[in-house]
Amino acid sequence: MVTGRKVAVVGMGGSFPDCADIKEFDQKIFSGQSLIREWSKAAERDKQIRSKVAGYINDNDLGIEPIYLVEGYDWPETFVDTRGRIPDINLSTADLGCVWAMNGALDSIEMAGWTKEETQSEMTGVVVASGGGGNVIMRNAWHAFFELGKKSRQAGSHMVDRAMSYREAANVSCLIKNRGVCESIISACATGLGNIGYAYRLIKFGLQDRAIAGGVEGTSLETFIGFDAMQVLSKGFAPAESSRPFDIKRNGFVCSFGAGIVALEEYEIAKARGANILAVIDDYFNNSDGDGDMFYPSYSGQLRMWKGLSANAQIKPDVVKVHGTATPVGDILELISVVDTLGEEGYHVSAPKSQFGHMLGAAGSVEFIVALLMLKNQQVPGCLNSDTLNPELENFQKKEGWQGSMKPAAAYRHLIPQETITKEINQVVCLNYGFGGTNSAMAISRDI
Amino acid sequence: MDRKEILAGLIEVLRTIRTVDPAKLENVTEETDFMTDMNTPSTELINIAAKVEQKFDVEFEDEDIDELGSKVKDVIDLIIKAKARTEEERGN
């Protein structure tokens, strides 16, 4: 390990629902708009699917045109990049999420100002992943092999590279031609932050000087119906009102898709070449609940996460960017673990999922980009639809053995702005959790 | 279906392969080599075979594919052979 190395964020990019680019994303987030719409792919299934809303990007948005092998089949054989940024050979090995990842990588490198030599260096890594499998690509294989009884080649020769678990990292690496690490860190809904965290460690520990990192969740009805089957998706509200973190009427999360990619660089190297430093990473910490529960969040696991984050860094955030999915249990338990760690004053809580839903494997990285924008804009976006906080205790607070706060959610109203506020923001803590009891936390600061 | 018609159909298939340079499809003859003349990535050859099967409504034997040469005429020969076999099977 190399001591004293710091890591800077020097670029960002991504694909966001209902936004042409990161500029429009910035504008819509900080002007309090919702990116959630009724999703025709879910709505047309009528009673097969409970939830009808999503933060989605159409297959042919963002200058990408899908090419279908057989008319009427909902799986693209490949894509055409009408903007001409990604060569056909790279598109032929990509699913939609990989195309978003490649676009985000190109945007991040452009913003970072890396030269070709820097990008293609042995000291440049790629750490990108998605939460879900290559479902859309597998559709053709299922259909041709199992339903039609065709030979394996009818699934196409790109089923493996377009559907394998680390397809996003592989595609980004083949596009930018870096010579360092190429890996994926996969941890359900903590994936986005987990990849940035792992890339941070590679640089901090001296193994790489720079990295493209982030998370992706490509559009997939299979992903959507998986969560719909669990009955954890929001139901019964108008699209813009569907994602309601902390609100007493919240009944589930909005399943969304997108990608968030960032460029990280060793601080002194970035400084020396005069890079625009979007943030400095103070530290990253992740752990597991250790209670054997796949789904239920853990108060003690989250407290240990905060302790770990604070062990080697000064943690005094002006904003805590929470996971805040709008599921009945998670939000308030998370809020209380924040309050019991930081106290009841001196910071604000931001839940960006209120505006674009839960991007699963992309959630941590897209919300990390929101945190970068908070540092840039010196603003905290409001938590949409957090209209009423429960004036009474949650059920978990009434259980024997509960050791946390005995105040109801409504006691913390002052921490959760409902509209965008402007204030001095020097540090933001980003939190994300995932199935399997995984907890991740990263603190970032303004470079001053 | 004569060899000219098959060649025209084959070029139509090749036009849908994004990694094949459209400029190289202008002067394709039976002697054109997929690998050396058209620079086709080897991973795409199996896609071309799969698409040809769909286009011409035939199914190749795995052994035919294994032994397939890399020239356009080899593919045309194979299509004719597979078509004849299919008709024979359907005739029976």
Q: Which of A283, A304, A298, A309 is nearest to A333 (CA)?
A: A298
Q: What is the model's pLDDT at position A75? A: 76
B38 contacts in chain A (CB < 8 Å): none
Q: Give the ipTM of the model, two decimals please.
A: 0.80
* Residue in this structure with the two tokens 């002052």, named with its chain if needed: A414
- C-alpha distance from B56 to closest chain A C-alpha (Å): 14
Per-residue b or e along A268-286, where b marks 16 or more CB atoms closer than 10 Å to that residue's CB: ebbeeeebebbbbbbbbbb
Q: Is the CB of A89 less than 8 angstroms away from the CB of B19?
A: yes
List residues bridging with A262 in a β-sheet. Answer: A12, A213
> How many whole angstroms separate alpha carbon A191 and alpha carbon A127?
11
Whether B51 shows a pLDDT value over 90: the answer reads no
Residue pLDDT, tens place only, A46-87:
999 999 999 999 877 889 988 876 656 677 888 889 999 999
Give the nearest partner residue to A88 out of B18, B46, B54, using CB atoms.
B18
CB A260 within 8 A of CB A194: no
**With an 8 Å Cβ cutoff, is B64 touching chain A?**
no
- pLDDT band at residue B92 using 50, 70 and 90 as cut-offs: low
* C-alpha distance from B46 to closest chain A C-alpha (Å): 6
The reply to whether A63 falls in a domain is yes
Q: Which tokens go with B77?
A: 């020969």
Rounded to a whole number of angstroms, the distance between the first and last alpha carbons of chain A is: 26
Query: Catalytic: A323?
Result: yes
Name the residue facing A157 among B16, B46, B53 (closest C-beta).
B46
Task: For residues A384 and A260, give the distance between their C-alpha atoms in angstroms, rounded to a whole number.
Answer: 21
Q: Which of B19, B50, B53 sits opposite A92 (nearest CB)?
A: B19
A78 and B18: CB-CB below 8 Å? yes
Q: Is residue A297 part of a domain?
A: yes
Q: In A273-420, which ranges are continuous DSSP H helix?
A: 299-310, 330-342, 353-356, 363-377, 395-398
Asked whether B26 and A74 are in contact (CB, 8 A), the reply is no
B46 in reach of chain A (CB within 8 A) = yes
Cβ pair A263, A212 in contact under 8 A: yes
Say whether A151 and B43 touch across the interface (CB within 8 A).
Answer: no
Identify whether A407 is part of a domain: yes
The verdict on residue A2 lying in a domain is no
What confidence score (pLDDT) does residue A225 get?
97
Phi, psi of A64 (to 5 degrees): -110, 130
Residue A68 within any structural domain of the chain: yes
Within a domain: A120: yes
Which position among A174, A182, A255, A323 bears the catalytic label?
A323
Find chain B residues with C-beta within 8 A of A80's C-beta. Answer: 18
The domains found in chain B, sorted by start residue, are: 3-91 (1.10.1200.10)
More confident: A326 or B54: A326
Q: What is the CATH number of the domain that holds A94?
A: 3.40.47.10
DSSP string, B2-62: -HHHHHHHHHHHHHT-TTS-GGGGTT--TT-BTTTTT---HHHHHHHHHHHHHHHT----H
Residue A1 included in any domain: no
Interface contact B18-A156, CB threshold 8 A: no
Confidence of residue B21 (pLDDT cuts 50, 70, 90): confident
Inter-chain CB pairs, A–B, below 8 Å: 35
Mean pLDDT of A253-280: 98
Residue A286 tokens read as 């992740």
pLDDT at A423 over 80: yes
Distance CA(A350)–CA(A427), nearest Å, equals 13
Within an 8 Å CB–CB cutoff, is residue B49 touching chain A? yes
Strand partners, A76: A68
Shortest distance, CA B40 to any CA of chain A (angstroms): 11
Query: Contact A158/B43, CB-based, under 8 Å?
Result: yes
HSE-CB of A51 using CA atoms within 13 angstroms:
29
Arithmetic mean of pLDDT, A351-361? 98
Percent of all residues in chain B with a pLDDT value above 90, rounded to a whole number: 33
Is A255 among the catalytic positions?
no
Which residue of A lies nearest to B44 if distances are taken between CA atoms?
A157
B47 touches chain A (CB under 8 A): yes
Q: Is the dihedral of CA A135, A136, A137, A142 positive or negative?
A: positive
What are the pLDDT digits (tens) for A283-297?
Answer: 999 999 999 999 999
Average confidence (pLDDT) over B7-29:
86
Nearby residues of A345 by Cβ (< 8 Å), 6 or more positions away: none
Which of B43, B62, B68 has the highest number of chain A CBs within 10 A, making it the mutation to test binding with A? Answer: B43
Beta carbons of A91 and B50 less than 8 Å apart: no
Strand bridging mode A76-81 / A64-68: antiparallel
pLDDT tens readout for residues A145-173: 999 998 998 888 899 999 999 999 999 99
Q: Is B19 at the interface with chain A, CB within 8 A?
A: yes
Percentage of chain A beyond pLDDT 90 is 89
Give yes or no for B57 touching A (CB within 8 A).
no
Nearest Cα of chain B lies from the Cα of A145 at a distance, in angstroms, of 13
Q: How would you class A144 by CB atoms within 10 Å of its CB: exposed for 0-12, middle for 13-18, buried for 19 or more? A: buried
Q: Which of A40-49, A124-133, B56-65 has the lowest mean pLDDT?
A: B56-65
B interface test, pick of A64, A77, A82, A154 with most B CB neighbours within 10 Å: A154
Q: What is d(CA A431, CA A128) in angstroms, rounded to the nearest whole number?
A: 18
CA distances from B7 to A171, B34, B49, B60 (A): 34, 13, 14, 17
Residues of chain A contacting residue B59, judged by C-beta atoms under 8 Å apart: 151
Dmax over Cα atoms in chain B, in whole Å?
A: 44
Considering only CA atoms, which of A389, A383, A391, A388 is closest in space to residue A417?
A383
Closest chain B C-alpha to A12 CA, distance in angstroms: 29
Question: Which residues in chain B touch residue A91, judged by CB atoms under 8 angstroms apart?
Answer: 18
Contacts of A154 in chain B (CB under 8 A): 50, 53-54
Q: What's the CA dihedral at A83, A84, A89, A95 to 10 degrees?
A: -10
- Please give the residue of chain B at the shortest CA–CA distance from A90: B19
- What is the reported pLDDT for A1? 58
Q: What is the mean pLDDT of chain A?
A: 95
Contact A140, A155 (CB under 8 A): yes
Active-site residue, A358 included: yes
SS3 A44: coil
Greater confidence (A375 vs A143) lies with A375
CB–CB of A438/A288 below 8 Å? yes
Domain count, chain A: 1
Domain residues for A267?
A: 7-445
Give the pLDDT of residue A73: 67
Asked whether residue A325 carries a pLDDT value surpassing 90, the answer given is: yes
Report which of A333, A323, A321, A332 is spatially closest to residue A247, judged by C-alpha positions.
Answer: A332
Q: DSSP character for A164?
A: S
Percent of chain A as helix, strand, coil, to the nearest 5: 35, 20, 40
User: Is B22 in CB contact (< 8 Å) with chain A?
Assistant: no
Tell me the residue length of chain A.
448
Share of chain A above pLDDT 70, in %: 98
Choice among A174, A255, A348, A358 that is catalytic: A358
